Structure 1
Amino acid sequence: MNYAPRTFREFAVLKDILYGSEDGSTPSSAVDGGGNRESRKDHITDKLLERLFASTLPAADAVNGGSSNVDVAERLQDQKNRPAFSVPVMARNFSRLNARIGVVFRLQYKILRILIWRNPNHTFSALAVYSFLCLYPFLLVLFPVAVILLGFMVPAFVQRHPPPPSPLPSFPVPSEGPPLAEARELRPVPELSRDFLMNMRDIQNAMDDFTRAYDNVVGHLTRPTSFKDEQYSSAVYIALLVVGGFMFVISPYLPWRHIFLVWGWAVVCMGHPKARRFLKSSHDMYLSRREHELSNLFDSLVEQDIVLDEPAEQRHVEIFELQRQKNSDVDEWDDWLFSAAPYDSLSPQRASKQRPQGVRFLDEVWPPVGWKFAQNSAWKLDLRPEEWVLQRAVVGADVDNNSKWVYDKTLSGCRGEWRRRRWLRVCERQGAGAE
């Protein structure tokens, strides 16, 4: 079905709603009878965008990074009480977020300055706090209280009671008496201000950082975890299983407080400029070649020890040969067709008086999707018709063990007008990429 004319019409109406028609008039559908024209315009815009997305935009499959059908259904269920996609809502929410997200980036830059040793006094102070938290974990419950007191309330009090000016550097002792300044209020930054534009630049760079980090993580995790290379992923799976079991056994006996303390100091010390230069030169001089040798050694061990020679899964595919009696007085039968169902007296097709569905010849029967007939396999007659009759709970059946036909049985005990027998053939599952 061609959606182009409808799509062009919807785009034309959408353009008229957002920007007005070329003759300066306003579309009648955008004018609300109660006077609320703007809300009516936004509502129509939302509906048109939803229709455009549903009818014209393709969906990415789960293999290419998209969502599966189950994920899509769950997300739609979770989003049913949330606003639908809307360009005005998107612009408004972005503006509100940009005016308030500055505190997140200020915290990010403070942590970064600590890690790169911009001010050694701040870095050592942070390491001291981290050391106390590692050695005395019960201080974690006091940490939020200390952050609120020292990070919010004390600076707010000092701002209302500023210390008197002094030429000597000293600890800022608040002035006594009534407050000398107004209380500081945390408000969103004004639009198009310096802080607003700085937040926009930080958001832009954060999106690039997230994209690079995502691509880097996915690039390193694809080969060991996706089983695209089954030998390599199997070796990684076994190694992780062994390491996980070993850590589960010995983890209660490890001094975790001292481990976190040492690793925390080590990570922060590696961020020092001199340490970074030393680590980079050491890596380029000694470790780069070792990494390549270890990677080749691991690949050779995987190729030698991990052998994937499992045969393809095999199953039997069945087909029923149906025949119909020519005349009730003569034991003569017409070849009718080959059907996937036995077309017994209680089958839905027969109950609704529909003709059986199938093919006329056995060579026209194909295996299920994703399967193929095994090599050197042929159709074989099922020599035990009683088993599939019992498995399918076929009622009113007369089994002929000599000819392997299963006849219909009428209420009077006579044989009916239909009979069937089952044929079997071995099929095996096809691998990925097979036609």
Structure 2
Amino acid sequence: MNYAPRSFREFAALKDMLYGSEETVEASAQQSSGFPNLTDKLMERLFSAALPTMTEASTVSDRTLAERLQDQKNRPPFSVPVMARNFTRLNSRVGVIFNFQYRMFRIFTWRKTTHTLSFLAVYSFVCLHPFLLVVLPFAFILFGVMVPAYVQRHPPPPSPLPAFPVPSTGPPIADAAELKPVPELSWDFFMNMRDLQNMMDDIVKLYDAVVGLLSRPTNFKDEQYSSGVFLTLLVLSTVLFFLAPYIPWRVIFLVVGWLVVSTGHPLVRRALIKSHETYLSPKERKLAGIFSQFVDREIVVDEPPEIRHVEIYELQRQHNIDVDEWDDWLFCSSPYEPMSGVRLAQQRPQGVRFLDETLPPDGWRYVNDSIWKLDLRPEEWVAQQSIVSVQVDSGSKWVYDMTSDQRRGEWRRRRWTRACERQSVTEVV
């Protein structure tokens, strides 16, 4: 059974029953700062059971979630009472933003022609004289905030004729206007809730529209199409880099601003909708077809996979230095030289017993016709890795440990390599 409150008093009672009043919510929030209440404990249990672990989340969002948690570590954690209190406080103060939004909406939709033309006049002056941008904030504070506030305290005398509101002389007559949070049992509070609800829907629609418009050209899911867009933007950026100083930007911004505001006029808007369906839509489809043909014809992304060589070191150990017998030990990813960190920490090497058990790195695979090849130039990889305290046997290709008395040690190694190619996303999945 669904219940809808029939008055503001019933609505306030229902809100207090679900979330608590502002006083009780604030008191519970203050209490929860020392000891978490039952609601916070319950919500924490639910979220900990439903949400993935940090390890799983970091792989999905590329550590963005971990960075956000680190940045917000000094802020209060999620709490239902705090959320309810902050929503109430925001809803009682957000009316200023919606009033500004409605005023701009009336200007761009030509509700009052004089207001729209005044806005265009100010915009024209700013386009022709950009230094006025520095003056605009101060002019807005003077004539948009302080002058109305003064007229509020010194209201003009009543007159049956419409006239310019000249403030009265003498001491203040009325109280000063102050921006205060609207009470919960008021139409302003209810209208703010409605506008906040609709604004959230507008943000979602705008987000979906922007993502739908930019995803295919920019995310390289279709590499051929995104490469064409990238090439086009690169050429345009290069051309504009050299031609931008010679372009009359003031006139362009002036004309574009007037055209954008003019499209909000009801007559112009209806004409644009009709002409778009009749003339522009076929041309847009034709241009999209021409661009797609250009991409299919000129851009080729069928590149061969990247190929690199992986290395593995075969380690052998000599138990009796008086007998030239060596035991196969294992294959590991490091040469296990005398000055390596693993040797200095007196740790055993880690690896596999047989060469066929060696796996390629994640995201790679062995080339089909490749085999393990012995590195016939051990001097090169010894020099590249700056390995010291070793002796290179050019004949057998083994690299021996050297002791302080210039004798061979108990370990020797040689390097094997094999070609690998990077796997594509479809192959990995």
TM-score clears 0.5: yes
Deviates further, 173-182 or 385-394: 173-182
Question: Please, which of 321, 331, 338 is the counterpart of residue 314 of structure 2?
Answer: 321
Work out whether residues 231 and 303 of structure 1, in 8 Å CA contact, stay in contact via their aligned partners in 2: yes
Distance 1:184 1:297 in 2: 61
Distance 1:76 1:228 in 2: 30
- Is structure 2 residue 68 aligned with structure 1 residue 94? no
- DSSP-derived class of the 1:398 partner: strand
Specify the alignment match of 1:427 in structure 2: 420
1:320–1:284 Cα change, 3 Å: same
- Is structure 2 residue 139 aligned with structure 1 residue 139? no
Distance 1:408 1:97 in 2: 72
Displacement after TM superposition at 1:260 (Å): 1.2
Question: Please, which of 281, 288, 292 is the counterpart of residue 285 of structure 2?
Answer: 292
Question: Please, which of 347, 353, 361 is the counterpart of residue 354 of structure 1?
Answer: 347
Specify the alignment match of 2:335 in structure 1: 342
Displacement after TM superposition at 1:81 (Å): 3.1
- DSSP-derived class of the 2:297 partner: helix
Counterpart amino acid of 1:303? Answer: D
- Is structure 2 residue 56 aligned with structure 1 residue 57? no
Residues 21-420 of structure 1 mapped to structure 2, 5 A cutoff: 39-42=33-36, 53=47, 56-58=50-52, 66=61, 68-69=62-63, 71-325=64-318, 327-420=320-413
Deviates further, 176-185 or 91-100: 176-185
1:361–1:186 Cα change, 3 Å: same
Distance 2:162 2:347 in 1: 98
Specify the alignment match of 2:15 in structure 1: none
Counterpart amino acid of 1:302? Answer: V
- DSSP-derived class of the 2:97 partner: helix
1:123–1:311 Cα change, 3 Å: same
Displacement after TM superposition at 1:39 (Å): 5.0
Distance 1:218 1:272 in 2: 28
Work out whether residues 58 and 65 of structure 2, in 8 Å CA contact, stay in contact via their aligned partners in 1: no
Deviates further, 180-189 or 209-218: 180-189
- DSSP-derived class of the 1:318 partner: strand
Work out whether residues 42 and 88 of structure 1, in 8 Å CA contact, stay in contact via their aligned partners in 2: no
Distance 1:178 1:406 in 2: 100
1:247–1:333 Cα change, 3 Å: same
Distance 1:39 1:78 in 2: 20
Deviates further, 209-218 or 373-382: 373-382
Counterpart amino acid of 1:89? Answer: V
* TM-score normalised by the chain length of structure 1: 0.85
Work out whether residues 316 and 425 of structure 1, in 8 Å CA contact, stay in contact via their aligned partners in 2: yes
Work out whether residues 385 and 404 of structure 1, in 8 Å CA contact, stay in contact via their aligned partners in 2: yes
Distance 2:231 2:426 in 1: 26
Work out whether residues 46 and 84 of structure 1, in 8 Å CA contact, stay in contact via their aligned partners in 2: no
Distance 1:321 1:430 in 2: 27
Q: What are the Cα deviations for residues 285-339 of structure 1, in whole angstroms up to 9, with x where unaligned?
A: 1121221121111111001101123322221111111222353333222222211
Distance 2:390 2:31 in 1: 72
Gaps of 5+ in 1: 1-17, 20-30
Aligned residues: 400
Gaps of 5+ in 2: 1-17, 20-27
Displacement after TM superposition at 1:182 (Å): 1.9
Q: What are the Cα deviations for residues 161-198 of structure 1, in whole angstroms up to 9, with x where unaligned?
A: 22232222222333333333222222111123110111
Compute the RMSD of aligned alpha carbons.
2.5
Work out whether residues 57 and 65 of structure 2, in 8 Å CA contact, stay in contact via their aligned partners in 1: no
Deviates further, 117-126 or 271-280: 117-126
Work out whether residues 160 and 182 of structure 1, in 8 Å CA contact, stay in contact via their aligned partners in 2: yes
Work out whether residues 315 and 412 of structure 2, in 8 Å CA contact, stay in contact via their aligned partners in 1: yes
Q: What are the Cα deviations for residues 357-399 of structure 1, in whole angstroms up to 9, with x where unaligned?
A: 2212111111111111122111111001111222233332222
* TM-score normalised by the chain length of structure 2: 0.86
Q: What are the Cα deviations for residues 134-178 of structure 1, in whole angstroms up to 9, with x where unaligned?
A: 222232222222222222222222222222322222223333333
1:126–1:329 Cα change, 3 Å: same
